[in-house]
Each structure stands twice: as structure tokens, then as C-alpha cells.
Structure 1
Amino acid sequence: MNHQGWGAPPDDKGATPFAYPEQPVGGFPGAAPGVPFGSEPGMPQPWNVTDSFAFAWNRIKADPGTIIGTMLLGYFISNLPSTIARFIPSDEPSDETSLIVTIVLALLGGLFSTFMMGGMTLFTLNVARGSFYRLNDIFQGGPFFLSILGANLLIGLGVMFGTMLLIVPGIIIALGLCLTTLIIVDRRCGAIEALQQSWRLMNGHKLNVFLWWLMAAVVSLVGILACCIGTIVTAPLLQIAFAFVYLKISGQTTADSVGA
């Protein structure tokens, strides 16, 4: 594949200490039959909001211990620096040492979450595809780290600029680029290429995905209202549901279509 864009993973995985293990040509661990790793998107498949959540719920019910446990560990590690920062004592608001430590931990938190985002996206894609998945997937974010970091910065700038003009352009930009991280992990491409592909794939799907966002907000609220315990299930549910949406939009098979 011709990689392009900021943070494109090097062709030589040996140069990357966090590189995912080499796989047979045309496949990734446990790939669903007929879905070669990094293949060109096929024709979009029909989907609706309720189907995505029903699908995710069924996947979690099939293996709750592994899926929920793995995702919870990923969330914990992602938020570890910010959690530590909350326990830093500061007697004076102007305490420079505490301020510096807090800033450093905030930066580390951003890097931690970016690294974990790649691995957790890989995990949820494997779950949604009906592929082999394992806890170790969430620690395989190395090859995607720079691409996701660059893409997040560019998306943030684009959404901020669009929102400064009017709120609606910012929402449209966010919708158009919302598949970027999934594309980076699925196709191992750079940030710029992933942004372009997301914008192209989202053509004709922005309204449905916006409705999905609204439903996701309701589901998240329900999880929070359930004494926050519900988020243990709703957080993984949302990620798997959105992986399902991506696979449908990009014309790939899902676990329900391969009998996984």
C-alpha cells in the first residue's frame, strides 16, 4: 500500500518497537473470511441506528468477561495520568511545582489515551468483525500512534475553525471525519489519507451518523444515571456499535454476517 500523510506507519515494522506481529499476506489475526486486511472499501451496506446497538449488545452478551474486562482495562490505563494528577496535593493555588507536574501529567494523559485508542480500536474492530480478539490487542497501538495523534490534531483544528464560523459547519466537519481513527487502524494508512477516506466514505451517511450520535448520547446518559455503573457496559457498547457502523459504511462483513 502506498502510505501517505503525517504519521504514516513505516513499511519496516522492525523499526517500530510496538509493531503488530507480522501476519500472512492479505490477513490480520482472525480476519473474517473474504475480508483482507487493509482492503479497499466495498459498496456500503444498509444499516440503521438500532441495528448497531442491538449488534453490539449481542456481541457483549456472547463474551462479557473478555470484552468488558479488556475495555475497562484500556479505559483505566488511558486515564491513569489524569487520575494521578487529581491526587497531587497543592496547598497554594500558585504552587509552581504542582502546576508543572499537573501539566506534564496532562500531556502524558493525552499521549497515553492516543496510544490506547489505537489498540482499543483494533480490539473493537476484531470483535465487530467476528475475528479473533484478545486482551493483548489493546496494547498494539504503536504502529497507529503518530497517525492518530496527527489526525486528532487536524480534526480538532478543523472542528474548532468550523465552529468559530457557525456551529453547523463544525458539526459537518466532525461528522465527515469521524471514521478517521477506524480507517487508520483498519487500513494502516497515514493521517491525511485517512482523513480523505473518511470524508469520502461519509458522503451520504452524515445524517444517519448524526442520529447515531444522538442515540449514543442517550445511552451514555442512561449509563451515568445508573450510578455510573452502567457505563461499564455502555462504554464498550458504544465503541463496538460504532465499529459496526464503520464496517457497514465501508462495505465489510460483520460478525452477524459470518456467523461468529
Structure 2
Amino acid sequence: MSSQLKKAAKESLSGRWGFAVLTVILFSIIQGVPGLFGSDIDEPANTMDLVVSMVSILLIPVGVGWTWIAMSIARGEETKVTDLFEPYGMFFKVIGLAIVQLFFIFLWLLLLVVPGIIKSFSYMLTFYILRDEPSIGILEAITRSRKMMDGHKMEAFLLLLSFIGWALLGIVTLGLAFLWITPYFSVTFAKFYDRVRGEQTPEPTSDFVAPY
């Protein structure tokens, strides 16, 4: 399964590597912004930590934007660099979803590390779902992800493990190879989402279902 998804990802990236690498460079620069605030030694540590945390939260939609660009590439859709900022159009929902998701994972981690890791896989499709269904509620997106990942968590784990060699290559090249590895990884997981979604027909939920 992993090899098929990777092959499909390479096919989707064919002819679009330049765009993908350029977007990763911009994405990396933006994600590095919080680190700039840590260089001001004249400010108290607590103040700088607060600033860095706030800036990091404000940049969460950019990370989601990269995920959505990877989805577009995986589906052969037209996309542009400025689509990185598309999630800011639903800023509060994106931030709220990220916070609630992390809160649930944190609660599971309080029990044991392994359940926390397992739940992180259960919730990994939430932002993919949000892109396809922007009107969906925060808890419903998390619940939908949990249901879609039933029976697929091990597949996702093995898919992640299959990139360890690539990650080592990225480290050996002092991060340079990640300019190509990141699109490859992201588009592959977008393919994974589309495959899982294609296997299921979401049913409307009239009653509350616990997202955890």
C-alpha cells in the first residue's frame, strides 16, 4: 500500500516539483519567524516566550495551508503559492480545531504515551476533512477523522515509517533534501486521505458522538 501511494504521489508531483519546492521554501521561512523573537536578549524570558507562543499560534493556518496545497497537488488541481494563506479565511475555526485536537491528545497522554500516540493518528485527518467540508463543526471534524481512521491507523503508521530513510537523507544533507522530501511526504499522505475517504461514505450525525 505504501509503495502504491508513494508512486501515485510522484506521478502527481511530476512537472510540479519546482512549484512544490518554492512553496516549501516560503513555508519554511514563515515557520521560522517565531525564532526571530527569541534573539532579543533585552526582553525578559517570560515576555519573549509569550510572544513566540502567540506568533506560533497565529502561524498555525500556514501549516494547514501547506496541507491543503498538498491535497490540490495530489488531486491534480490548480494551486498557487498564495494558497498557503487560504485557511486564514476561517482563522478561528482552524485555530480552535488545532487547540481542541491538541487538548484531546494531551488528555490521552496523561494516561499513557502509547494511547496518546494512537489518538494522534486517529485525529490526523481533521484538517483534510475541514478543507473538503469547510462548514463542518470542530468536534464533528475530529469525530469524522476518528471514524475514518478506524482500521487504518496501522497503515498510516507504516506509511510514516517508510519515510525514515528519507528523513535520514534530509539530515545527512543538512536539511537541503527536505525541500524535495517534504512535498513527497505531504502529497503521499494526501493520497492516503483520499484513499481512506473514498472507502467511506460519511453519514450525517444527528446525535452527539464523543470525538475522543
Which TM-score tier does this pair reach, normalised by the shorter chain?
A: 0.7 to 0.9
Larger RCO (CA within 8 A; separation ≥ 6): 1
Aligned match for 2:8, one of 41, 45, 55: 55
Please tell me whether residue 224 in structure 1 is matched to residue 171 in structure 2. Answer: yes
Aligned match for 1:146, one of 82, 89, 92: 92
SS in 2 for 1:89: coil
Task: Summarize the alignment of residues 162-201 of structure 1 with structure 2, pairs less than 5 Å apart.
Answer: 162-188=108-134, 189-201=136-148
TM-score by length of 1: 0.70
SS in 2 for 1:140: helix
Indicate the structure with greater helix content.
Answer: 2
Q: 2:62 & 2:86 partners in 1: Cα distance? A: 8
Offset, 1:102: 4.0
Contact 2:129 2:145 in 1 (8 A): yes
Per the alignment, residue 192 of structure 2 pairs with 245
Deviating above 6 A after TM superposition, structure 1's stretches of 4 or more consecutive aligned residues are none
Task: Summarize the alignment of residues 53-202 of structure 1 with structure 2, pairs less than 5 Å apart.
Answer: 53-82=6-35, 84-90=36-42, 96=44, 99-112=46-59, 114-188=60-134, 189-202=136-149
Residue ranges of structure 2 left out of the alignment (5+ in a row): 200-212
SS in 2 for 1:178: coil
SS in 2 for 1:62: coil
Alpha-carbon displacement from aligned partner over 1:16-73 (angstroms, at most 9, x marks no partner): xxxxxxxxxxxxxxxxxxxxxxxxxxxxxxxx11222222233334222111101221
Q: 1:159 & 1:102 partners in 2: Cα distance? A: 23
How many residues of Structure 1 are paired with residues of Structure 2 in the alignment?
198
1:225/1:89 Cα in 2 relative to 1: closer, same or farther (>3 Å)? same
Q: 2:173 & 2:155 partners in 1: Cα distance? A: 27
Aligned match for 1:214, one of 161, 166, 190: 161
